[in-house]
């Protein structure tokens, strides 16, 4: 098993609970999802929409379902090609992913407003969704989101100041390329990797260039930093010329700065820094994340 597969495994592990899953054919393609509370949802009341990280099933959020207040409706799903959802060959970009989510919600008659919750790459997806459909957004919760805002200049400076041989942008492309050729991964996961490689190979997160200012909605951002470096990561870092803690610290500081700037004009926002936490914050501390979603829901509805 390659290092990248191990990393994907560690992100996904946790206390995964089993909830009844439903399916729908959206333009002839099977999509699997979880939904609760639609029958009791009030007019203009937000519904929580979960968006998972790269290669992850929507079931990755099952640890949060019981942490939500009983009156909060929610929806989570397997992106096409992941979990129990069939691949969709028409998804070629992150913008396509966002539009497909919008189509799924419309097809299932799950109307806005939406309280979007995204983990890792899913955090980038929900930011893109908020840019494309600003009038449908009630708030955002970003759980250790990917730093799609990292510039080429910042990347070069962080690489140099950390005395490393490779930067995050180059590492991202290498990770995706290696995972595409990994025989241990399913074809659906590989399709997601291929799409993300196409998005960032020539221009890092090209779909996110020149996004409009985030609408003034409540936002909570969780960022894990100064996390423990696993043994397999140390081995990988040695091979790639990454100067362990100095490298991670440099990019942690940039990500904190970028997300602080993202929400600085908005009201009722929080940037929650969690030293020593893992990337899967919601798996490590579902009570903390669940409570924040509940608080944000109350702010929106009162």
For residue 117, name the pLDDT band (cuts at 50, 70, 90): very high
pLDDT tops 90 at residue 35: yes
pLDDT tops 70 at residue 6: no
Average pLDDT, the chain: 93
| H or E segment and range at residue 25 | strand 22-26
Model pLDDT for residues 250-281, shown as the tens digit of each residue: 999 999 999 999 999 999 999 999 999 999 99
Tell me the CATH number for domain 3-301: 3.40.50.1820
For residue 17, name the pLDDT band (cuts at 50, 70, 90): low
Predicted pLDDT at 46 = 98
What average pLDDT does range 287-291 have in this prediction? 99
Q: 166 exposed, middle or buried (CB, 10 Å; 0-12, 13-18, 19+)?
A: middle
Mean pLDDT check: name the lowest of 16-20, 56-60, 137-141, 297-301: 16-20
| H or E segment and range at residue 259 | helix 244-263
Which of the two residues, 179 and 17, has the higher pLDDT score? Answer: 179
For residue 208, name the pLDDT band (cuts at 50, 70, 90): very high
Contact status, residue 9 vs residue 55, Cβ threshold 8 Å: no
Closest listed residue to residue 221, CA positions, set 275, 289, 121:
289
Which of the two residues, 130 and 18, has the higher pLDDT score? Answer: 130
What average pLDDT does range 97-126 have in this prediction? 98
Sign of CA dihedral 64, 71, 293, 109: positive
For residue 1, name the pLDDT band (cuts at 50, 70, 90): very low
Contact status, residue 235 vs residue 3, Cβ threshold 8 Å: yes
> Three-state DSSP class for 290?
helix
Residue 128 CA: distances (Å) to CA of 39, 59, 94, 222, 277: 29, 22, 8, 18, 26
Predicted pLDDT at 73 = 98
Predicted pLDDT at 15 = 47
| H or E segment and range at residue 51 | strand 47-51
Write phi, then psi, for 117 (nearest 5 degrees): -125, 115
pLDDT tops 90 at residue 131: yes
Closest listed residue to residue 150, CA positions, set 178, 116, 173:
173
Predicted pLDDT at 302 = 87
Predicted pLDDT at 13 = 46
Predicted pLDDT at 11 = 46
Contact status, residue 69 vs residue 36, Cβ threshold 8 Å: no
Number of H helices, E strands in the chain: 10, 8
């Amino acid at each position: 098993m390659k290092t990248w597969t191990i990393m994907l495994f560690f992100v996904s592990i946790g206390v995964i609970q089993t909830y009844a899953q439903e399916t729908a054919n959206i333009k002839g393609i099977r999509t699997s999802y979880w939904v609760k509370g639609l029958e009791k949802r009030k007019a203009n009341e937000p519904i929580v929409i979960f968006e998972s990280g790269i290669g992850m099933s929507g079931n990755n959020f099952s640890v949060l379902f019981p942490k939500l207040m009983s009156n909060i409706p929610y929806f989570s799903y397997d992106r096409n090609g992941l979990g129990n959802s069939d691949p969709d060959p028409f998804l070629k970009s992150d913008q396509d992913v966002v539009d497909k989510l919008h189509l799924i919600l419309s097809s299932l008659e799950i109307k806005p407003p939406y309280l979007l919750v995204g983990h890792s790459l899913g955090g980038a997806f929900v930011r893109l969704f908020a840019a494309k459909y600003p009038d449908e957004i009630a708030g955002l919760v970003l759980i250790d989101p990917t730093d799609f805002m990292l510039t080429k200049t910042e990347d070069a400076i962080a690489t140099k100041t950390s005395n490393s041989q490779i930067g995050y942008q180059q590492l991202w492309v290498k990770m995706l390329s290696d995972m595409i050729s990994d025989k241990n991964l399913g074809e659906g996961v590989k399709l997601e990797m291929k799409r993300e490689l196409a998005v960032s190979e020539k221009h890092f997160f090209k779909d996110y260039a020149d996004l409009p200012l985030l609408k003034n909605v409540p936002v909570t951002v969780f960022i894990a930093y100064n996390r423990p470096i696993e043994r397999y990561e140390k081995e990988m870092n040695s091979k790639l010329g990454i100067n362990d803690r100095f490298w991670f610290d440099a990019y942690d500081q940039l990500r904190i700065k970028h997300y602080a700037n993202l929400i600085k004009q908005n009201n009722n926002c929080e940037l929650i820094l969690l030293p020593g936490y893992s990337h899967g914050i919601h798996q490590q501390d579902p009570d903390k994340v669940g409570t924040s979603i509940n608080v944000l829901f109350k702010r929106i509805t009162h």
